[in-house]
Amino acid sequence: MTADPALRVRGLEKSFKDVHVLRGVDFDVSPGSIFALLGSNGAGKTTLVRILATLLGADAGTAAVNGFDVAARPRDVRESISLTGQFAAVDGMLTGRENLVLVARLRHLEDPGATADELLDRFSLTDAGGRRASSYSGGMRRRLDIAMSLIGSPPIVFLDEPTTGLDPQSRLEVWQTIWQLAAGGTTVLLTTQYLDEAEQLADRIAILHEGRIIQNGTLAELRQLLPAAKAEYVQKQPSLEDVFLALVGDTAPAGKETR
Ligand SMILES: Nc1ncnc2c1ncn2[C@@H]1O[C@H](COP(=O)(O)OP(=O)(O)OP(=O)(O)O)[C@@H](O)[C@H]1O
Ligand SMILES: [Mg+2]
């Protein structure tokens, strides 16, 4: 690794009363890459993200975000990141464009209207920009939420379960957004419970289990953990999602490609 890591986590521990959630978490994330943190319900994914986003203090260990220690330099960390949680920050009473303008104003950008229009375009929301966000589909809301979190162009983006609760079509739209982000040089850490999501998106995948990262590698490296015959058998089968998308039609906006 030549460049300094965008994220560096060492020996991170966190307990809630007698529940020892994180028991020594270690990993690095390279700048401009997509890193997926996989784990079951309650594994500690959100806890880890909240520590990295300076919303929660660790009990032990260190974490550096964009080179800044989360405990010593929380302000610098916050200026380097955006965080999109499981529950969207979108105000349903406002239009999509108004939501974006509001955030751009809060961040003291020079031309909030232009920023909003640029983001609407980038997230294929231009046509819906004048409509109340409460009328949006789940995928449109999530895209708007991600767009809002990108105002000010943070180099590192945390997405906590960005597609939970979305239908396959909306999920694909969010995936396209994440690919675009990484293609533009943004570092993405996403948490997910979906193996296929990690498979599709991530340059590296880490599995958080019982408080530690038990595997961390590329998809190819993780595949080698399974017997070859089994992997071959699985690859020959179209997934349920393939079938669903073939039946309902893939109407993702133009100009987007799968990697
Ligand atoms: N503020 C808190 N107070 C007490 N316990 C907490 C708190 N936050 C999290 N926990 C506990 O820590 C554990 C890890 O929770 P966390 O939300 O980090 O898991 P997760 O991997 O994000 O799960 P999910 O997939 O359901 O989002 C759980 O047992 C949870 O109940
Ligand atoms: Mg969570």
Place of tokens 């893939």: 250
Distance 41 CA to ligand 2 centre (A): 7
Taking the CA of 21 as reference, the closest ligand is 1
For residue 198, give its domain range: 7-90+136-248
Q: Whose CA is nearest to atom 2 of ligand 1?
A: 16
Residue 65: strand, helix, or coil: strand
Whether 223 and 86 have beta carbons less than 8 Å apart is answered as: no
Does residue 127 belong to any structural domain of this protein?
no
The SS3 of residue 83 is strand
For 20-34, 65-79, 81-95, 101-115, which range has the lowest pLDDT when averaged over its residues?
81-95
**Closest ligand to the CA of 38:** 1
Top pLDDT among 138 and 31 is at 31
Is residue 240 predicted with pLDDT exceeding 70? no
**Bridge partners of 27?**
9
Residue 18 lies in a domain: yes
173 touches 252 (CB < 8 A): yes
Asked, for residue 99, whether it belongs to a domain, the answer is no
Place of tokens 């039609």: 249
Does 117 reside within a domain?
A: no
For ligand 1, mutation pick of 12, 14, 18, 19 (most atoms within 8 Å of CB): 19
Name, in order, each residue with C-beta under 8 angstroms of 26's C-beta and a sequence gap of 6 or more.
9, 10, 11, 12, 213
Phi–psi pair at 232, nearest 5 degrees? -60, -45
At 85 the three-state DSSP class reads: coil
**Dihedrals φ, ψ of 219, to 5°?**
-60, -45
* 209-235: average pLDDT: 75
- How many helices and strands, by DSSP H and E, does the chain display? 10, 10
With respect to residue 96, please indicate whether it lies within any of the assigned structural domains.
Answer: no
> Does residue 51 sit within a domain?
yes
- The total of structural domains in the chain comes to 1
Q: Is residue 109 part of a domain?
A: no
The string of pLDDT tens digits covering residues 125-150 is 999 999 999 999 888 888 899 889 88
Atom of ligand 1 nearest to the CA of 39: 21
Measuring from each residue's beta carbon to the nearest atom of ligand 1, which residues come in under 6 Å?
16, 19, 21, 39, 41-47, 193
Structural domain includes residue 41: yes
What is the number of other CB atoms lying within 10 angstroms of the CB of residue 77? Answer: 22
Supply the CATH number for residue 85's domain. Answer: 3.40.50.300
Closest CA to 180 of 258, 79, 75: 258
